[in-house]
Each structure stands twice: as structure tokens, then as C-alpha cells.
Amino acid sequence: MMTPDVAERRIQSLRQQINHHNYLYYVLDSPEIPDSEFDRLMRELEQLEQQFPQLITPDSPTQRVGATPLTEFGEVRHEVPMLSLDNAFDEHEVQEFDRRLHERLDTSAQIEYTAEPKLDGLAVSLVYENGVLTRGATRGDGTLGEDVTQNVRTLLSVPLRLVGTGFPRLLEARGEIFMPKKGFEMLNAKAEKNHEKPFINPRNAAAGSLRQLDARITASRPLEFYAYAWGQVEGGRLPERHSKVLACFREWGLRTNPENRLVIGLEGCLKFYKHMADKRDQLPYQIDGVVYKVDRLDLQKELGFVARAPRWALAHKFPAEEVMTVLRAVEFQVGRTGALTPVARLQPVFVGGANISNATLHNMDEIERKDVRVGDTVIVRRAGDVIPEVAGVVLAKRPKNARRVHLPLKCPVCGSKVLRIEGEAVARCSAGLYCPAQRKEMIRHFASRRALDIEGLGEKLVDQLVDAGLVHTPADLFKLTAKQLADLERMGDKSADNLLQAINKASNTTFSRFLYALGIREVGETTALVLARHYGSLDALLAADQDSLMQVPDIGPVVAASIASFFHEPHNLKVIRALRESGVRWQQQADAKKFKHSSILAGLTFVITGTLSQMTRDDAKDTILALGGKVSGSVSKKTDYLVVGAEPGSKLAEARRLGVALMDEQAFLRRIKQ
């Protein structure tokens, strides 16, 4: 019988051989042994580890698949954000990209780029500590992703341990998990055989496969990985060029795309684009364009970032796929803000890797501009993840009975009047307080901190209350009972009691907060304050028509039309009446007093930074607005004063750079008490 010492040496040898052959197969695409021999090595390792379980380690090739499914994915914060890329859709935009880089770098020399196929998969982050895979995460929103470590471990093209030497102590490799075309076809063939719903395209199949709570399901799916970037690096240095980092990745066992090229200048980029466009159909995986990245890392650093994208990289997308089909009908959907969006119901057609039966028509202006009619043969366009759209009409195929599309006069969800303000492309349902399509958004806004400030009534709880049929309008919040709340998921008697106290506290508010809470389109906090000051009472405001509203300072025709429409909708008036009957109240005198000196800050714009000791920043903002001033969230040349509290942020440096006047808290207090 084999001793533990002998078994440990043999296990180490088997692991090294298996990792070596995985590297040859997945990274170098140059296998040395047949699959049967690889399987024999794996079986021997499995048998030895079963015999000596104390010798099993997490990075063993046998430990790719966990036995216990997860109940939910954990949250991962990316220390270095996973940014998106700016897109180009034609040569001119690529030329402009190259021109901007030359201007910023102040050089006439041609720039070297790493050019890569743009994989149509799912971006992930892999963290290796001392060469061992310790975490896998999805991109998520770029800052927060999901922990899918257990799942990425199942991919044979993801090494559990890096090979070679010289890698940093901590290395975060980033890349794309995708499903090859052949694997996608096999997966769908199996689904159809088992009478299961097939996946629409390889990207959806890859995303759905990676986000399985049971890693054994992920392991059964044909997923692969290519690395193309990095995030955190500690305890070591990477080469000075992007292309050389990718070469190091390959040496360390991380698979990179063999189509990657180092190209020179704009001409090299466009030549690579044409090459990949011609080769696209022959590739074993789907791509939707190519990516250009400045190769020198010192130049990347000099170029920096803008918003959520690096200046030194660009995604050059392939042209959108277009097909013809018949427009069967046009329906109008109501969004969470009340916007009516026309949706084309199409004769199903395959385009851009998916079966399409619906497409957006954007708005009535677009329908009229393109002269889209029901019964027309239309051109449907789809590019990557972009929502399919009706790009145009084939007039030569228009039937005699083609019907014009008309905007509905009433909301298709609640039957309230549809409002389309002159000059605006979007039409909206006017029943903001009543319409079921807007219900959750309305409740969240009504309870938000700057509105009635119902502490504890967050997004998930609003979802529960609406889904359970307990809340249909904001007035229903004030009818909730302790038992109804306690029966909700993750509540209980104590939480229910706390929420009821918060709701009761919120019922005593101010007129301006109440107006803001109603969610009237175009009525923000400042306009709500102006209305409260001008009319003094709700009854007076309800009696105002559009013409009289336009006499109020700072209220123009668009805002006046929105306010008048809101208060003339019977459904809204019914909810407002129910709110007042439920006990929502405010003191008219307090509002009037607040506006006593409302003009002393008129025409001035303030920005606040740091912590104030004698009032909250919200109180300071309310005071500025009440005294006729304006408050901005960022410093600009139009800023009159920066109010500086303790521990100010970057706004202070920006104000000094622009020469904006500074005002400490004491000076601010003296100014508002004039």
C-alpha cells in the first residue's frame, strides 16, 4: 500500500502534469497527449485524493466543481473600477479618436495600438494571490459585481494556479467569458431534445450559465475565457506595454486571444478592423467589433479617463445587422415615469443573433418622421445589445390598407388623459399618483428624503407593499396596519412598529415638501418652494389655471402646462383628497414665515462642501432656496459662492482654481439672517 509521503509526491507530480497539459491545450493550442491520456491522469489523481483526503488542496484540478449550491451570489466591490469603452461606428469616428490622442499627447508620431477582437460575452475579474485563484467576479455596474468564484473555477480555460514565475503577489486579471458557436449549438440541441426552452444567442447562454447558483450546472456548459486587461496589481510590476502584459499572461497560464495584434497608427487599426470583419464568420466565437488600446502604459496614464471610459481605448463596432419584416401592430407601453413608448409588434425575424418580434419606435415624432404605418414592410436593425429598432420603411412594399399610427388619447394602463406638451417628443400619462405603471416609482419618490422623508421605507419594501396589493397610491401608506407590515418578508413586530412611527411622523410636513412629493413632472424642490410661497395654500393652487401659473416667477409655459394637467386629472385629485383625509398636514403660517425675506439671495448660485456644524447641508439648501437663491451640485464659472464646512472635498480646490468666492459657515449664517 502506498504511504502518505509517496502519495503526496505522486499527487504533486500528477497536478503538475495536468496543469502543464491544460496550459498546452488552452493557452498554446498545442496539445502533446491525446484526451484519453489526460483523462487517465485525472482519474489517477482523483483516486489518490479519495484515498488520502488530507492531501486535497483548493487549487487541485479535481476541485473545480463545488458540491453545495449557493443560495445567492455575494457582492464584490472592484477596487479598480471595471470601466466601459466608448464606441465608434464608422471610420470617421476612429479618425477623430486617433486625432484627439495626438492632440492630447502633443505628438505627430504614429501611435502604436494593441488591437483585439471584441468578444460578445460577459466581462469578469479573476484575482490571483501568490498565483492561486481566490476570487472571480462579474463586472456588474463597474463598481459592484457578483461573486462567481465557485463558477469560474469550473472553466478549464481558467487556471486555478498560475504557471511559471515572475507574476505579482496579487494579480487581478480581467477578460471575457463566452460560449463558442459550436458549444452553443450543442447546448440548444440538447435543450430541444429535452423539450426545454433554447437560448437566444451565445452571449445570453454564457451569462445565464455563469450566473447559476449551482456550479455543477456551470461546469456542464461549454464556457471559455480570454484575458485582455488587469485591475489590482500588488507585490510586483507589469511590463510597460499592454501587448507585453498580455504576453506575460500567456506565460503565466492565462489564455489570451490569438487574434490580438500590435498595429501602427490609424491605418493599422482600420486594416485590422477589415481583417476581422472578413474573418468574423469563420471565427469559432461571436464578436461584435474590435477594440483599440494605446499600447504604451505611460501614454495610457497620461491620457487618463473621461466619465466611465478610458480616453486611450475605443470599441469599433461592426455595422448593425438589418433585415426586413412586416409591422403587424403598434402598442404603447407606459414606463415608470409615465412616458408612453410605441412598440412595434413584428412578424418574427432573426437578426443580430436573436429572434425578434418586438422593436422600439422611440416616440411619435420618429413614427411621423419615418411615416411608419401598420402593415408596412419595415427594416429592423440590431447591433450587439442595443434594443432592436425600426430603422425605416420599404415604401415600395406598402399595402393599400396600411394604417396610420395615432397617439392614444387615454393611458392604456389606467385610462387617464395622455399629455403631450408642445415641443416635447415624449407623451405621458397625466395620472402620476394613480397609474399602476408608475406606482412603485411614485411611492419611492413620495417617501424619499427630500419629499416626505419616511425613514425605513426603502426600495425593496416598496416593492413588497405594491406586489402584495397593500399600497396602490401614496394615501394607502397611511392606512397600513402593524399586522400587515409584520407579515412581510424580513419585517417583524419591531420593524413594523418603527415604520408606522416613521409614517406618522412624515404626515406632519411642509406645503413645499408635499408639493415636491406629489411627483409633478417639471416640479423640483425649487419650483415647489416657489409655488408654496406664491399661493400659500393647496386650495389656491388647485384653483389656478395654466395662464395664472405662468404669472408665477420662474415658471414658464412647459412647467405651467405640466402643473395644470396634473391638478386637472380627476385620479390625482382623488388621491390628494385621500392624503389630506388620512392626516397629512402642514402649517400655512410656518411656510409664510419661512419666505418672509425670500429675495435676499435672489440671482445667486451656491455650492456647499464639507460638514456644517449648526445645520445640515439639506437645511442649508432649503434655506438658500427659500431665500430666492439656487443650489448646484458642482462648482463652475456660474457659481457665486462656495459655502465651506469642515473637511471640504475637491470642490474647494476647483473653486479656488476658478476664482469663486468662498464663504465659511459663520459668514453664511450672517448672510441669511440679514
Which residues are part of the catalytic machinery? 118
The Cα–Cα gap between 347 and 349 comes to: 6
Amino acid letter, residue 400:
K
Q: Which three cell numbers stand for residue 142?
A: 463597474
The Cα–Cα gap between 596 and 599 comes to: 9
- Helix (H) or strand (E) segment spanning residue 174: strand 170-178
> Could you tell me if 674 and 628 are in contact, meaning their C-beta atoms sit under 8 angstroms apart?
no
State the number of CA atoms in the 13 A half-sphere of 134 facing the CB.
11
Q: Residue 316, SS3?
A: strand
Q: Which three cell numbers stand for residue 529?
A: 418652494
| Partners of 144 in beta bridges | 77
The Cα–Cα gap between 90 and 273 comes to: 11
Q: Crossing angle, helix 439-447 and helix 459-467, to 10 degrees?
A: 140
Q: Residue 420, SS3?
A: coil
- Sequence-ordered alpha helix ranges (H) in 224-381: 242-251, 265-279, 297-303, 364-370
DSSP per-residue codes, 459-493: HHHHHHHHHTTS-SSGGGGGG--HHHHHTSTT--H
The Cα–Cα gap between 656 and 632 comes to: 17
What are the two backbone dihedrals, phi and then psi, of residue 541, each rounded to the nearest 5 degrees?
-70, -40
> Could you tell me if 360 and 366 are in contact, meaning their C-beta atoms sit under 8 angstroms apart?
no
- Helix (H) or strand (E) segment spanning residue 115: strand 112-119
> Could you tell me if 571 and 419 are in contact, meaning their C-beta atoms sit under 8 angstroms apart?
no
